[in-house]
Amino acid sequence: MANIRDVASRAGVSVATVSHVVNESRFVADETKARVLSAISELNYRRDGIARSLRRSHTGTIGAIISDVTNPFFSDLVKGIDNVVHNLPNRVNVMLCNTEEDPAKERAYLDVLMEKRVDGLIVAPAGDNRAYFQSLIEQSFPLVFVDRTLSGIDVESVEVDNLGASASVIRHLIDQGHRRIAVLKATLQANSIGNRLSGYEQEIAVAGLSTSLELVVECASDIVSAQVGGTKLLDLDPLPDAVFCTNNFMTLGMVRAINARGLRCPEDIAIAGFDDFLWADAFRPRITAVAQPSIEMGEEAARLLMSRIAKTRSGPPVHRLLDTSLIVRESSRPRQLSQSLASAPTGDRAPSERV
């Protein structure tokens, strides 16, 4: 690989001149510039970003530490990050890391990324690495949390009002006449999930409904576990009227559990969940859900981070709370109504309403 010196000697100029034409960082006479340019193309020279980063002490690379790209919520997040970061004049790249909610893995990623000298970090913290994050903040290293936060850590964040949003789903369920409302909850340290549960508890209390421990089933955040957890809910006697699923995988597992039992939704049991899906409008049952602006969350996180990196912004950390929308579809319908309608074909005549 040709380096800047090779180019310089071939063009009969100094390395400084080559550097300046490559970076357009100072005036170079047309004739000189032409010689340099042709030397560059003859030698197939490409500037070495590593040497450049060493010299300039920033890399044009950021890290994104999330739980799992395979989860549509997180892939949207990543897409959002990429969207803004690659439209910058000096294109920034993102290193993607999947923690699978394991704090040890998260820690390991944090170590490599810092060693690789990323300019900043967007993370959906799995929990536990508080001390590490705290020390990053003290060095005022650019960091933004997304989807969740860690209590006691004051850092930039972009989230959603998890408590309020789930309270609104529960309210909706109650309005539809459901009384015995269960929840299928992912066992994650993340406060986002905790807040969703609190929203449920709050609204149940407000409505004066009795809650019971058996109505809250907790399980690992994957579809298979969710189906097992969902089945437990279906073993309850009497059957719950409705179940609130704390994230997309919980919903998927719950629907599978219902199908496996030969039950129907919402005729036998209603569902409402967190996270909307691409295909939610296309397939049956159409699920009532809180839609998070997942792509925008990624974009906003990236914007926040980039402005910190560029130092175009300073001051105390900002905390963004983006709006969700409750998308009401058939899965949360009153059971009686559903049953009486069950024989009628369900085309798309009943459009989803956004609340």
- Identify which range of 156-164, 183-191, 283-291, 318-326 contacts a copy of itself by CB under 8 A: 283-291
- Using CB distances below 5 to 8 A depending on partner kind, what does residue 179 bind out of DNA, a copy of itself, none? none
Query: Residue 193: helix, strand or coil by DSSP?
Result: helix
CA dihedral (65, 165, 170, 220) in degrees, to 10, reads 0
Cα–Cα separations (whole angstroms), residue 272 to 65, 120, 137, 224, 304: 28, 37, 38, 19, 32
- Using CB distances below 5 to 8 A depending on partner kind, what does residue 348 bind out of a copy of itself, DNA, none? a copy of itself
Which residue number, 349 or 354, has a Cβ lying nearer to a copy of itself? Answer: 349
Which residue number, 318 or 342, has a Cβ lying nearer to a copy of itself? Answer: 342
Query: Shortest gap between Cβ of 147 and a copy of itself (angstroms)?
Result: 16
Q: Could you give phi then psi for residue 123, rounded to 5 degrees?
A: -135, 140
Instruction: Please report whether residue 94 would count as binding a copy of itself according to CB under 8 A.
Output: yes
Which residue number, 74 or 195, has a Cβ lying nearer to a copy of itself? Answer: 74
Tokens for 141? 């290293």
Which residue number, 39 or 243, has a Cβ lying nearer to DNA? Answer: 39
Query: Shortest gap between Cβ of 134 and DNA (angstroms)?
Result: 22
Q: Is the peptide bond before 238 cis (omega within 30 degrees of 0)?
A: yes
Looking up tokens 């929990």, which residue turns up?
Answer: 127
- Residue 213 to residue 221: CA distance in whole angstroms: 20
Residues 131-150 that bind a copy of itself (CB under 8 A): 135
Query: Residue 55: helix, strand or coil by DSSP?
Result: helix
Taking residue 176's Cβ as centre, other Cβ atoms within 10 Å add up to 20
Residues near a copy of itself (CB under 8 A):
44, 46-51, 53-54, 59-61, 68-70, 72, 75-76, 78-79, 82, 86, 91, 93-98, 108, 112-117, 135, 223, 252, 255-256, 259-260, 262, 264, 277-279, 281-285, 345, 347-349
